[in-house]
Chains A and B, each alone.
Chain A
Amino acid sequence: MANPPERSRGLTEPAWLRRALIGAALGLIALVILLPLAAVLIEASAAGWHAYASAILEPDTLAAIRLTLLVALLCVPSNIVFGIAAAWAITKFRFPGKNLLITLIDLPFSVSPVVAGLVFVLLFGTQGWFGDWLRAHDFKLIFATPGIVLATFFVTFPFVARELIPLMQQQGADQEEAAASLGAGGWRIFWRVTFPNVRWALLYGVLLCNARAMGEFGAVSVVSGHIRGLTTTLPLQVEILYNEFNAAGAFAVASLLTLLALLTLGLKLWLERRHGESLARGARSH
């Protein structure tokens, strides 16, 4: 990527103004990002290492960790498959309804997660459209793990597709056409030509998708029913502990999510520095 062009003299602001603006930006970041981050980590460790460990090793919390990992383990791979399929279809073929599909992929970003959760309750809850059918077949979806997975899947759907589509559009279909003219079949074209071109962008999308899958609160909160040790994910567990005035426990669990965020951020930074060229340009909007 080219460096931004040097500003002309005429656009340079006086030194005091530049310092004031930069100072204000840094101050705001410190206030709303760094300070809370520090607060989480300090509060979590305030009661000492022993209390921290016991808060996390508490059975309900361990169950929440397990459930969160399970949800991510189910959602992220399915989003990889569907995201690649959607991006492939949208960028390599022309078909009616393509623009509608692009809009629909973005829908989970524009709708409030609470609404997303509520929709699933209305569909699959006991009073919902398919409630009777589900009960007849003895399958519990709402207030159970499948509902949580479904809601998380819905909320995280755009991440992979949104990351791949601009990149694949920019790359066009020339390489795939060349590979086909050389005799390669669709599967081989994907693995040997398309995939190597998008792998870093895919990893980037997976990273963001995973962070959201593990951290989603709103949609999951509606469909989970908050059954302790059974249908609480990590974010819900934080809320429960906090509502019970167990601040140390809440902060201990919250620190896990914070560490996940820091890890994601670090990997994201590494990807952008190391493989910025192979990520979609101008797709840094989320």
Chain B
Amino acid sequence: MEILIEGVSKQFEGFAALKPLDLTIPSGQLVALLGPSGSGKTTLLRLIAGLLPVDEGRVLFGGRDATRLSLRERKVGFVFQHYALFPHMSVFENIAFGLRVRPRAQRPKESEIVAKVDRLLSLVQLSALRDRLPAQLSGGQRQRVALARAMAIDPTVLLLDEPFGALDAKVRFELRQWLRTIHDETGFTTIFVTHDQEEALDLADRVVVMNEGRIEQDGSPDSVYSTPASAFVFDFLGRSNQIFGEVSDGLFRAPGLANAIAVSDCRSGPASLFTRPHDITLANTGSGLSAKVAAVHRLAGRVSLDVTIEGQDRSLLVDVPGHGVARPPARGEQVGLELCQYRIFATPPL
């Protein structure tokens, strides 16, 4: 079902957790709300669910105003970071809960409940564990039960709050792939909250990057990664380097940078150049940036350099391709750097 958020905002004791924002999520999309802690992503998810009342604005489910509807009436499938399974009920009963608590007139027959729960159990690949208690399951299994339980009520939207946050790295990765498959099979409109950019970029159709209660950027994983709209997004998504400088007369100049760079969309004043470690190549000294190698890291067949530039406080990280370079530079050596891709953003006023 399509979800429409219009001018929704939320304050907590005078602190603006969410500034008025708009967001449209088409039916069937898998959307990640990505941001650091305190960015308002979880608040937005709880406002959509009805776990929190909105201060201003409207939430529409499929064109119908749901702002005044309670959590119960919204019929959202909410998955909690710590699963929130009912500990005294079996896996089967946990999943059946949403069907059993329906008013008598709408309650499915016992045989229908069993059939539906069994179908969900096989979807989440837990048929063999249907009679276990939650305490007898691993974290990944519990989260799959939580998802099946949420899907049992045929929710208008699936909302997942840091669904993999409590799991270890390997299980996270497997569960991510699996969630993508489930989504493609079932087609529920799904919104999940995460602070893990890799998870968001890998799993979602669309990534909404949030910071300080605002939406910083909203787009496909490729577009937010390759064309970040702000310094925050560039820095938050993936590894990044920052070179401090200044823009004047449409030119960016920075200590250590041999030639000024022409910029068109950046106002005059203090600014920073952002570039990713793999978008820098080694060149002959004298062109681009001149730098000194401070450290050489060898990690899993990859070589990367820590380089310092005169006049810059922060060192840069440079990836060196394992092949093509006969010999990686040694510590203390002077190297030239060429920037293949970069973005320049004005430093936001304090």
Binding site for B on A (CB under 8 A): 174-175, 177-185, 188, 192-193, 196-197
Contact = CB atoms under 8 A, between A and B. Distances in A.
A215 B79 CA distance: 48
Interface in B102-152: 102, 146, 149-150, 152
A175 B97 contact: no
Q: Which of B76, B87, B152 is packed against the most chain A CB atoms within 10 Å?
A: B87
B183 interface: no
Q: Which of B71, B75, B76 is packed against the most chain A CB atoms within 10 Å?
A: B71
Contact of B78 (A181, A185, A196): A181
Given A188-B101, A192-B101, A181 B71 contact: yes
B97 A182 contact: yes
A69 to B, nearest CB: 33
Interface of B: 49, 51, 70-72, 74-78, 80, 82, 84-88, 97-98, 101-102, 146, 149-150, 152-153
B55 to A, nearest CB: 16
Contact of A175 (B49, B76, B84): B84
25 contacts: A174-B82, A175-B85, A175-B86, A177-B51, A177-B78, A177-B80, A178-B78, A178-B84, A179-B97, A180-B72, A181-B72, A181-B74, A181-B78, A181-B150, A182-B98, A182-B149, A182-B152, A182-B153, A183-B72, A183-B75, A183-B101, A183-B102, A193-B86, A197-B87, A197-B88
Nearest to B106: A183
B153 A174 contact: no
Which DSSP category, helix, strand, loop or mixed, fits chain B's interface? loop
A60 to B, nearest CB: 47
Contacts of A196: 86, 88
A175 B102 CA distance: 17
B205 to A, nearest CB: 24
B308 to A, nearest CB: 46
A184 B97 contact: yes
Given A177-B84, A182-B152, 16 more contacts: A174-B82, A175-B85, A175-B86, A177-B78, A178-B85, A181-B71, A181-B150, A182-B97, A182-B98, A182-B149, A182-B153, A183-B101, A184-B72, A185-B101, A193-B86, A196-B86
A181 B153 CA distance: 9
A192 B94 CA distance: 11
Nearest to B74: A181
Contacts of B70: 180
Contact of A181 (B77, B86, B88, B102): B77
Contacts of B76: 181
Given A196-B88, A197-B87, A179 B101 contact: yes
B71 A177 contact: yes
Q: Which of B74, B84, B88, B146 is packed against the most chain A CB atoms within 10 Å?
A: B84
A192 B51 CA distance: 20
B57 to A, nearest CB: 21
Nearest to B97: A182
